[in-house]
Amino acid sequence: MIETIRLSKYLADHLSCSRREAENYVQGGWVRVDGQLIEEPGFRLQPQHCVELAEGASAQDHKPATILLHKPVGYGSKAGERSIFDLIASANRASDDRNDRTFVKRDLNGLELMTPLEADAAGLVVFTQEYAVARKLNADAATIEHEYVAEVAGEIAVDGLKRLNHGPSWRGTRLPPVKVSWQNETHLRFALKNPPAGLILDMCHQVGLKIISLKRLRIGRVSLSGLVAGQWRYLMGYERF
C-alpha cells in the first residue's frame, strides 16, 4: 500500500510553518504538484510527487473579494435560469484586469450577488465577500444611482419624456423623480436609484414604448467600462460605489 500524506502537513513540515499557514499557501493558489495547481489542503501526496511553492508566496489569510461582471442576456439567479455564478471562472476573467490578485476557489466561497438583473437584461452586476461593500450597497441602496441604456421601439406619447422624468408609479406607489433622456433616436438613458426589477420595462410601457434591450452601465461611481459581455474583473482598492 502506497503511503500518502496531506499536502498541508507536508508543507508545514518542510517549511516549518503552522498548519494554518500551510493551508493558506495551498488555498491561496501558491502550490503546484507535478506542475498542476492544487488548491485543496487535503490533497494526498505520494512519494513520487514534486511539490513547488511559487516565488513570492504569502501565507496571509484570504482577503475577501468583490467581483464586477458584465452579465450577458440569458443568465440569471433564479431557479431554471442559466446560473450567473457559472460565469465567475478563471477563463472569463478580463485580460486587462489591473488587480494583481490571483483567482482562487476561495474567492467563490460565500460570494453574494448584490445587484441582480433580470435574465433578459445585460450589464454590470456586483458580487462580494466583503462586509463593507455588502453593507454599503444595502444600507445606501436608496441613494446609489444606477445608470441604464434601453433600446426602445414604438411611438412615445406626446408628454412621454416629461412623464418618465416626473417619477414613475410602481404598484400603487409614486417613486422619486428619475433622470431620463434620449441618447439617440432609439435609445433612452435612465438614471435612477434602487430600481426594482421590471420598473424600466413598465415605465416605457406606460408611455407607449417597448424595450428591445436593456443594459446597466453604472452603479454609483463604478462603471461597466470596457468589460466585454461574459467577462469579469476584481474591484480595485480605490474604487467606491
Any residues with CB less than 8 A from the CB of 23 and at least 6 apart, and which? 8, 41
Q: What gap in Å lies between CA 241 and CA 222, rounded to an integer?
A: 6
Tell me which architecture the domain covering 5-53 has in CATH.
Answer: Roll (3.10)
pLDDT tens, position by position, 201-236: 999 999 999 999 999 999 999 999 889 999 999 999
Task: Tell me if 5-53 shares its fold with 145-219.
Answer: no
Local structure of 44: helix, strand or coil: strand
Q: How is the chain split into domains, by residue range?
A: 5-53, 66-141+222-234, 145-219
User: For position 108, what pLDDT does the model report?
Assistant: 93
Q: What gap in Å lies between CA 136 and CA 119, rounded to an integer?
A: 25
Query: Other CB atoms closer than 10 Å to residue 33's CB: what's the count?
Result: 17
User: For position 28, what pLDDT does the model report?
Assistant: 82
Residue pair 81/75 in contact (Cβ under 8 Å)? The answer is yes
Tell me which architecture the domain covering 66-141+222-234 has in CATH.
Answer: 2-Layer Sandwich (3.30)
Q: What is the DSSP letter of 93?
A: B
- Kindly state which CATH superfamily the domain 145-219 is placed in: Alpha-L RNA-binding motif (3.30.70.1560)
User: For position 1, what pLDDT does the model report?
Assistant: 67
The residue written with cell numbers 460570494 in the block is: 111
User: For position 120, what pLDDT does the model report?
Assistant: 94
Pairing of strands 31-33, 5-6: unpaired
Q: What is the pLDDT along the chain (241 residues), one digit of tens a residue?
A: 678 888 888 888 888 888 888 888 888 888 888 888 888 888 898 888 888 888 888 888 888 999 999 999 999 988 889 999 999 999 999 999 999 888 999 999 999 999 999 999 999 999 999 999 999 999 999 999 999 999 999 999 999 999 999 877 788 788 788 999 999 999 999 999 988 889 999 999 999 999 999 999 999 999 998 899 999 999 999 999 9
Residue pair 117/75 in contact (Cβ under 8 Å)? The answer is no
